[in-house]
Amino acid sequence: MKARIVSFRRSRRRQNTRQIILKVESITSKEKTKELIGKTVTWKSPAGKEIKGKISNYHGNSGNIRAILEKGVPGQAIGSEVEIK
């Protein structure tokens, strides 16, 4: 399943690059996100490196999900796709 990186998890003055917010096209409510919690997320860089993580919880009411990664991703990753397994 594919998802797109929407943003980092952030506050007013700080952002956490290890936690990303993902949008899956087929999911539009937080009730449908409960089946994705605990699955693995993989982001591939253009150079071929992989950063893996895990889906931790939903984010908001519109079906976005939050993933916690092993390592932070660069800012150029926003808008790119990740693989959910």
- Ordered by start, the domain boundaries in the chain are 2-84
Question: pLDDT tens, 66-79?
Answer: 999 999 999 999 99
We find that the CATH architecture of domain 2-84 is: Beta Barrel (2.40)
Q: Which single residue is written with the structure tokens 């007013």?
A: 12
pLDDT at 30: 87
- CA distances 72 to 1, 30, 50, Å, are 22, 25, 11
pTM for the full predicted model: 0.89
Question: Is 56 in contact with 67 (CB distance < 8 Å)?
Answer: yes
- CA distances 42 to 10, 13, 33, 34, Å, are 21, 27, 18, 19
Question: Is 82 in contact with 1 (CB distance < 8 Å)?
Answer: no
Question: pLDDT tens, 8-65?
Answer: 999 999 999 999 999 998 899 989 998 999 999 999 999 999 999 999 999 999 999 9
